[in-house]
Chains A and B, each alone.
Chain A
Amino acid sequence: MAEALIFHYREQHTYLNHCNPVSKLLCVIALCFPLVKAPLFGTLLLLSPLLLLSLIQRLPLKRYAKELRFFIFMTCLIALTEYLATKSALLALTACLRFLTIILSGMLISDSTAPDDLARSLGNLLDRIPFVNGWNVASSIELSLSLIPMIFDVTDQVITARKARLERNRNPIKNLTSLGSSIFSLLLDRAEELSWALDARAFEANRKRQTLPYTYRDLLLIGITTMFVFLTYMLY
């Protein structure tokens, strides 16, 4: 059985899974605006509904532990640089919470949204813009999103193979360059195979697809998000 991958869709019957991908995307964008300058309390206010949603969504954080180490490392790095720059533990904590809010919202949207659902909703929206081939853009986004788990997968394979062959810790720059080129080359191979597989099953990026409906759930999601965004701005 394959291990769980972070930023990967899981088919479930949850509130977020039934919301329209465009609504979810708009809510994440809306949350990001006040987050840029939100103080500690404001950031906590924006983080709290996301924590609640991650409980409802039953995010398998324990199973994601391996990949989450990278984000924990990044959080520590952010805390350190922010502290060194401002000499304020409060500001460092706020920066970390902002980063975690962004990661959590990304995890929630990818966990509850299949890339093809996102493409069919976004394509319909973008196609209304003059001179924009909305379906083509949406297909590109869909394929890019499909590459994210592939990147994690390939990176894991390359690192494991190197460990198995007792790779020594040489110059870190040499290590990184060699690792990066291996990952990149393997990714190119996978991408070529994926492109063949898509062609073989008559995939066309420009094809119009059935769109997903908007329901009362979307209205509720947008309403709650607007309320939290408004409250955060009030705290500025």
Chain B
Amino acid sequence: MKSNETPLLQVENLEFGFEKNKPILKNISFTIPKGSFTLITGPNGSGKSLLLKCIKGLLKPSSGTILIDGEDLTKHPKKRLTSVGLVFQDSDTQIVGQTVERDILFGLENLQLPLAEQMKKLEEVVTLLDLSKQLKQRPRTLSGGEKRRLSIAGVLVMEPKLLIMDEPFANLDYPSVLQVLKTLLALKGEGHTIILVSHEVEKVLAYIDLALILEQGNLTLQGHPAQLYTQFRSHGVYVPQEGTIEELTWLKH
């Protein structure tokens, strides 16, 4: 990142709790550069999903600031809803359309874009995510990997500045993980800024630019994965000890 370039996301001293004086997320600060691929990881119950929902604008932080592209959007959750795209852990929850096509168009209709523009964006995103053949299918009949790609498409089509994915590999078999991983790398190649929350760090570690580790609501570690590689295990995150980060890639073929 160029030193004078504004970071895409700046979170400063963010705190969140469901009850007063009982914060779950404590004093969290980090910066995400534009076009970067970031991994947020940590043990169960460390507050990863809550942090995503705060950034997205679905939950209101108790204190702290959230700047997106240099603009303070802490008090504008509605603006954050359109600037930040969140792909939920459970694809079935996120898919609301009766067909693949209708689901992708759902967000565009909410943005009240003209029909011609909606169709153009639809075509672009289905080509990118290889969903052209499934357009008229009911989402319930899709495979796990296809559902995950549909949920990414539904968010991506709204052209958010920041794309956040909560456990994108959860409950997927090996071929589906590869499909989603290839999709993520294609998006990274196109210059999208991506934050990924995952326990399965070995699947992405070779490709990420920044890693953040949350423990009991605290941000305990952040930096380039190559620098943090040896410290992951002591922070409750499993990584294979053999070989280098580059050798961890799932896309050897």
Residues of A within 8 A of B (CB): 1-2, 5, 8-11, 114-116, 146, 190, 193-194, 196-204, 207, 209-210
Smallest CB-CB A-B distances: 6 pairs? A193-B93, A202-B110, A2-B140, A201-B107, A9-B98, A114-B98
Q: Which residue of B lies closest to A195 (CB)?
A: B58
C-alpha gap A194/B88 in the complex (Å): 11
Inside 8 A of A210's CB, which chain B residues have their CB?
109, 115
Tell me whether A202 and B93 are in contact in the complex, defined as CB-CB below 8 angstroms, given that A2-B141, A11-B136 are known contacts. no
B86 within 8 A of A: yes
Q: For chain B residues 100-115, which have a beta carbon within 8 Å of chain A? A: 102, 106-107, 109-112, 115
Q: How far is the CB of B165 from chain A (nearest CB, A)?
A: 12
- 11 A–B pairs (Cβ distance < 8 Å), ordered by A: A2-B141, A11-B99, A11-B102, A115-B98, A146-B96, A193-B90, A200-B58, A200-B86, A201-B107, A201-B154, A202-B107
**Most chain B beta-carbon contacts within 10 A, residue among A1, A146, A197, A204:** A197
Q: Which residues on A sit within 8 Å (CB–CB) of B102?
A: 11, 114, 116
Binding site for A on B (CB under 8 A): 53, 56, 58, 81-82, 85-86, 88, 90, 93-94, 96-99, 102, 106-107, 109-112, 115, 136, 138, 140-141, 143, 154-155, 158
Hey, which chain A residues are within 8 Å of B154, CB to CB? 201
Q: Tell which of B56, B98, B112 has the most Cβ of chain A within 10 Å.
A: B98
**Nearest A-chain residue to B82, judged by Cβ:** A202
The listed residue (B93, B107, B110, B115) touching A190 by CB distance below 8 A is B93
A199 touches B141 (CB 8 A): no
Cα distance, A194 to B95, chains bound together (Å): 9
Task: Note all chain A residues with C-beta closer than 8 A to B138.
Answer: 8, 10-11
Residues of A within 8 A of B94 (CB): 197, 200-201
When the two chains form their complex, are residues B98 and A116 in contact, meaning their CB atoms are under 8 A apart?
Answer: yes
Contacts of B106 in A (CB 8 A): 116, 201, 203
Closest residue on chain A to residue B87 by CB atoms: A200
Inter-chain CA distance A209–B111, complex, in Å, is 11
Known A11-B98, A11-B136; judge A197-B158 contact (CB<8 A).
no
Residues of chain B contacted by A203 (CB below 8 angstroms): 106, 110
